[in-house]
Structure 1
Amino acid sequence: MGIKIITDSVADIPKEIVNKLGIKVLPLTVNFEDGSFKDGIDITKEEFYEKLSRCKKLPTTSQISPGDFIEVFRPLVDDGDYIIAILMSSKLSGTYNSAIAAKDYLKGKNITIIDSKLVTFPQGLLVVEAARMVLKGYGETEIIDKVLYMRENMKCKFIIDDIEYLKKGGRLTPSQALIGKLLNIKPILTMNNGSLIYEDKVRGKKKAIKWVINWIRKNNYNLKETTVGLFHSDNYEFLMDLREEVVKNNDINEIIESKTGAVVGTHAGPGCIAIAFVT
């Protein structure tokens, strides 16, 4: 008997952390024109971005089915474990509802399903903290309360490098995308109540990084008492530029780096970088 932390592949938690903390990750499915692939199992992040760069039509993703959750939940419930599943935003996928359906089917009193209202590594930070608390001996109530607190106090910003993928996804018209490219526009996105939304735009990478540094400074965010997530969609060099400035301008407790996978990669495209932390 124990507490088991479960999440989906959208959380983009580095594999070494997944293995160290005993986190169970269920994959979404990535659908390209030439086939469907289990995220992180049938296709690596490197392979995903290589295929993304060559495809004319953006891939789609399929949610985890209730049956997939039942297959994972049932043996844990039978063993007397308490399950805490922390999943991607229910506004962006039906995965959360699939998990609820699986819980109802199993009549699982010892299953808590949490809508993180986040995606990629902001979601992952919730999962990592929950798994760390399990290893420290905390009970399920304390862990759930901490995750819910973190969810409501998560700050994150995404810098989009290549707006071509916003055009492909229908978020920009062709004329908007053309003007944006000519002006070297870098949109800045954030998460708000489960949705990924536009917040601002600047011209050029350096100004985008400066925008993030000024945002941290203006709000007096204290990074010394929190874990900072830095993550990218196949643009590590750009991420290191951001890391250098963040470290130079702040006292930081811990940094975890991650690479985003199919969901954010599809919509934001290669080149996106982001930062997340709890205040």
Structure 2
Amino acid sequence: MAFNCFLKGDEMGIRILTDSVADIPKEIAKELNIEILPLTVNFEDGSYKDNVEISNEEFYEKLKIAKNLPTTSQISPGDFIEAFKKITQNGEEVIAILMSSRLSGTYNSAVTAKDYLKNEEITVIDSSLVTFTQGLMVIKAARMALKGCSKSEIVDKIVYMKENMECKFIIEDIDYLKKGGRLTSSQALMSKLLNIKPILTIEDGRVVFESKVRGKKRAIKWVINWLKTNDFKLEEKTIGLFHSNNKQYLMELHEELIKNFGVREIIEAKVGAVVGTHAGPGCIAIALIK
């Protein structure tokens, strides 16, 4: 994956920062030197830093037995101030790519921190995305930063991705949409009786319903048909596949992609506590640049 970038001797290095909602696998974050700040997930028995004080596996186990949906808390301006100062004092610029401002106050916290520090070496971007759709953007930016691309080149690419990202989520457990207020009790009951699998997408920074399909196999077929109908050239693309504790179902989608398309690169990730709270266990998703 080549970029026509190089770092001049008098230019600062660039560090990419994001929040834990991006759901970037730890090994990739380490490899690409991505700084990740955690949101907090609040259960009745206490609060935990996402993927720091509670693992994905522990989160889904607690979610199964929780009487009420956990809540989540945004990253504070103070946490951003500390992270920004650490990076810039190390002689690097920082580009923060954060979850949709329509779904959390995390982006606004980062803007508050930047304004407080009055540091032009800090760039804060609202991805208008969540989970690994946001993660793909962060990975691309981090790869470009390691190749020596300039801040303007990276920001231009992020803006392009923000405007052209496509994603589809297949929801397995209707109950979590009901608990989150997206479905009424009667809608949820009817959907369960008919084995309906809602398909969601992201529009203007919000998660919205796109379609509904009866059965898991048909839901995967819907995604494959959507890709074919839109004539996406997957041999030229990096595909993000991600799941909320349902690797087996995700692999069914993975196999169908390989069977039907020549895919350049597939990166897999696991949905963490923040989005997992609302999607529930069993969800699978795909993201790519259209």
TM-score, normalised by the number of residues in structure 1: 0.99
1:105 to 98, 112, 116: 116
Corresponding residue for 2:25?
14
In structure 2, how many angstroms separate the alpha carbons of the residues matched to 1:76 and 1:214? Answer: 44
What letter corresponds to residue 236 of structure 1 in structure 2? K
Amino acid at match of 2:228: R
CA RMSD of superposed structures (Å): 0.7
Determine helix, strand or coil for the equivalent of 2:80: helix
CA positional deviation for 1:108: 1.4
> Distance in 1 between the 2:226 and 2:194 partners?
23
> For 1:162-192, what per-residue CA distance to the aligned partner results, in whole angstroms no more than 9, with x for missing partners?
1010011111111111111010000000000
Q: Distance in 1 between matches of 2:145 and 2:120?
A: 19
Match of 2:286 in 1: 275
Query: Structure 2-normalised TM-score?
Result: 0.95
Residue of 45, 58, 65 corresponding to 2:56: 45
**Match for residue 224 of structure 1 among 235, 241, 253:** 235
97-106 or 162-171, which deviates more: 162-171
- 1:45 and 1:79 mapped to 2: Cα distance? 31
Q: What are the within-5 Å matches in structure 2 for residues 242-261 of structure 1?
A: 242-261=253-272
Q: Does 1:239 align with 2:233?
A: no
Amino acid at match of 2:216: K
Tell me which residue corresponds to 1:92: 103
Name the counterpart of 1:185. Answer: 196
- The alignment partner of 2:209 has SS state of strand
Shift of 1:17: 0.2
Where in structure 1 are there 5+ consecutive unaligned residues?
none
Aligned length: 279
Runs of at least 4 residues off by over 4 Å = none
Give the drift of 1:195. Answer: 0.3
Other-structure match for 1:121:
132
Any unmatched runs of 5+ in structure 2? Answer: 1-11
Q: Which residue of 1 aligns with 2:225?
A: 214
**Residue 181 of structure 1 aligns to a residue in which SS?**
helix
How far 1:247 sits from its partner (Å)? 1.2
In 2: Cα distance, 1:75 partner to 1:236 partner: 36
Q: In the alignment, is residue 144 of structure 1 matched against residue 152 of structure 2?
A: no
Q: CA deviation at 1:262?
A: 1.1
Give 1:81's match in structure 2, choosing from 84, 87, 92.
92
